[in-house]
């Protein structure tokens, strides 16, 4: 393999230089930020709210816990976790995209979730000390990370012993009929929804492609285990459209 190939990574179905991908991903979410919540409801028919609530139920959070919500964007997971950790706890809502984070901060303040603070942070280089968090969550963000292994190692570093990592991400259904329908929706309908409601077909084309390039459930489980996470498991939701991965330090 050439040196150039070693520096390449996937940006949807395209091959791009690893150094360029973070900026390209940031551009996608800069473009979709203002319509992100609306499009989530449209794309999933509102079911994303159930997926996220199912994730929160497995956090085992207690009052006083400290949580990192990576790639938290507009703050759905952070807002759901806020009451669980209470006034003595803290949620750090982080994202590499400042525009998304600004929306997340505004939403959390609007809902009077004063234990949520926001931080611009790269999932691969978290600006936090070792063993700081009881729980780390990342919802629909890991597939956009350039070096997933590096990010998972940093998640492990930042978790306290006994801490939990929850990764909620789109996946590919196993049943052929559902898989075919999902592919048709993802590549034929979703970009058109993006064009009509967000005036941005290209970004939603990338988002559909990024789902297809994400590792399978078993492949991602092995990635988690390779960086020393224990008791790794996953729950398949909505016939495989979404998967929740759970891992422990």
pLDDT tens figures, 22-47: 888 877 888 877 877 877 887 888 89
Average pLDDT for 10-24: 84
pLDDT band at 3 (very low <50, low <70, confident <90, very high): very low
pLDDT tens figures, 46-80: 899 999 999 999 999 999 999 999 999 999 999 99
Average pLDDT for 145-172: 97
Domains in the chain with CATH codes: 3-173+206-248 (3.40.50.150)
The secondary structure of the chain, three-state, reads CCHHHHCEEEECCEEEECCCHHHHHHHHHHHHHHHHHHHHHHHHCCCHHHHHHHHHHCCCCCCCCEEEEECCCCCHHHHHHHHHHCCCCEEEEEECCHHHHHHHHHHHHHCCCCCEEEEECECCECCCCCCCEEEEEEECCHHHCCCHHHHHHHHHHHEEEEEEEEEEEECCCCCHHHHHHHHHHHHHHHHHHHHHHHCCHHHHHHHHHHHHHCCCHHHHHHHHHHCCCEEEEEEEEHHHCEEEEEEEC
pTM: 0.91
């Amino acid at each position: 393999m050439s040196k150039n190939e070693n520096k390449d990574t996937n940006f949807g179905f395209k091959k791009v230089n690893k150094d360029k991908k973070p900026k390209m991903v940031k551009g996608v979410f800069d473009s979709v930020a203002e319509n992100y919540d609306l499009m989530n409801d449209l794309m999933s028919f509102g079911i994303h709210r159930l997926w996220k609530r199912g994730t929160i139920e497995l956090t085992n959070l207690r009052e006083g816990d400290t949580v990192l919500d990576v790639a938290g964007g507009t703050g759905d997971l952070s807002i759901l976790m806020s009451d669980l950790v209470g006034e003595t706890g803290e949620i750090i809502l982080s994202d590499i995209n400042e525009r998304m984070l600004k929306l997340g901060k505004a939403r959390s303040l609007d809902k009077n979730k004063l234990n949520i603070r926001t931080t611009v942070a790269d999932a691969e280089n978290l600006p936090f000390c070792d063993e700081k968090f009881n729980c780390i969550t990342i919802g629909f963000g890991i597939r956009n990370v350039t070096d997933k292994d590096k990010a998972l190692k940093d998640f492990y570093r930042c978790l306290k012993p006994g801490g939990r990592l929850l990764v909620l991400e789109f996946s590919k259904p196993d049943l052929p009929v559902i898989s075919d329908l999902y592919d048709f929706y993802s590549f034929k309908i979703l970009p058109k929804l993006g064009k009509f409601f967000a005036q941005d077909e290209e970004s939603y084309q990338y988002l559909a492609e990024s789902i297809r390039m994400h590792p399978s459930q078993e492949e991602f489980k092995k990635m988690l285990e390779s960086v020393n996470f224990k008791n790794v498991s996953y729950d398949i939701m909505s016939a495989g459209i979404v998967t929740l991965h759970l891992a422990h330090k």
